[in-house]
Each structure stands twice: as C-alpha cells, then as structure tokens.
Amino acid sequence: MARTFFVGGNFKLNGNKKSIKEIVERLNNASLPENVEVVICPPAAYLDYAVSLVNKKQVTVGAQNTYLKASGAYTGENSVDQVKDTGAKWVILGHSERRSYFHEDDKTVADKTKFALDNGVGVILCIGETLEEKKAGITLEVVERQLTAVLAEVKDWTNVVIAYEPVWAIGSGLAATPEDAQEIHASIRKFLASKLGQATADQIRILYGGSANGSNAVTFKDKADVDGFLVGGASLKPEFVDIINSRN
C-alpha cells in the first residue's frame, strides 16, 4: 500500500527567531510535493512562533520532547497539553540523545509515547543501535527490545511514525547504505506484523534517520520500506527542501 512520504526536521538545541523564520519561509516559498508530510521540530521555546509562520498545508510543527504528566510540579518539562496549545501536532520521543544524555530507558519512552498518543499528539518514535551493538551483530535484537516496550503500552499505532536511527550514524557523517536501511526497515516491519498484524504493520511509516542529507536522500528513493527521513543538522539548511523533494 502507498504510505505518505514523511520528512521530519529535528532542529535539536539550535536556532533563534531569525534562523527559524528563514527556515520556515524557505519551506513556505518552496515547491513541495502534494503527497508529502513535513514536520519541523524547533526548540520548545519557539513552537508557538514556528506555528505562527507556517502557511504550507504539507508542513506542521512538532516538539522534541514531552513529559508523561499533563501538568504539575515538573520543572523544565514539556506538557503535551501545552504543546498542543501552541498548535504543534507531533513530538519526537526516544531519540538516542534523550536515551543517552538524559537516561531515558525503554519503559520511560514507552510511557511517554502512550501519554502523548492518549492526549492527541502524534509520535515520531526513535529506535536504533549504537556502534558497539552494530559490531556485536545485535541490531535487530536492540530495535525489537525498544519496540517491545512500546508495544506493551500502545495498542493503536495509527498516529505513530517510527524513525530508525542508527546511533553510530547520527552527526558522524556516516550513513547506512540504502540497502542496509531497507534490510533493517523490512525486518522492523516484519516484527511489527508479528505483533500487530500485517495490515497494521503495512500502514506504519518507518523513517531513516542516520545523517540523511540533500545528496544521499535520493538514493533511498526506491526502497520499499523507507518511508521518509528524520533529519537532524540538514533540516537547518537549504538542502532540507531537497530532501523533502527527493521522491519526485
């Protein structure tokens, strides 16, 4: 079945009003395919600002993190309700930087995913292995473990997009080959089919998120199970438009 091409832009802890306005205006003025979904994820302080600037129907805004409580004494956290109140519609959860730097384990990611979905925000769920795990040949074991935690909490995957992000490729300039990515993505979909049924698995979009850029994105074009990209540093640059247009 045809799955809508999806490109997420994770700005990480980068940007200011000037640069975010430039990025959004570049998207607003670009010729983008009708059949693409683009989600830009600026720092939380700029969610409302980014939403106010977007005028392309293919483009929406997402947060980079949310907590598993709607409100309360949780200093520094992002509330799903408050993210929604800005007009943002998605959140990135389970990113390797959250898992590594902020010690979020599989259960925490699963709980946050369930809470976000239950409260009306779509989730870009990140999974992926480290270089050590790749060398040990346990890539599938790692991603299946990460997914199993979420499967225990989430039954409806309609509003989940999975981003396979090999940790060893993020920000390193290294990237899996399109063939490698397709092989892993196909294995992820097969695993999901075993848990959720083939029809559901066929509807879930699986993004590649390891140093995708304007040059290599087009090389993934014909891979059946690569349904888009979660882009880091390149989402801050003009080449982000090239990535969005890479299926044309």
Q: Where in the sequence numbering do the catalytic residues fall?
A: 95, 165
Q: Which residues of 151-165 are buried (b: 16+ CB within 10 A; e: fewer)?
A: bebbeebeebbbbbb
**Bridge partner list, 78:** none
Q: Are 225 and 186 in contact (CB under 8 A)?
A: yes
Q: Could you tell me which residues come within 8 angstroms of residue 202 by beta carbon, excluding any fewer than 6 positions away?
A: 1, 3, 189, 193
- 75 SS3 class: coil
**Which bin fits 87, alpha (ψ -120 to 50), beta or left (φ > 0)?**
left
How does DSSP assign 110-151, residue by residue? HHHHHHHHHTT-EEEEEE---HHHHHTT-HHHHHHHHHHHHH
Q: Could you tell me which residues come within 8 angstroms of residue 182 by beta carbon, excluding any fewer than 6 positions away?
A: 220, 223, 224, 225, 226
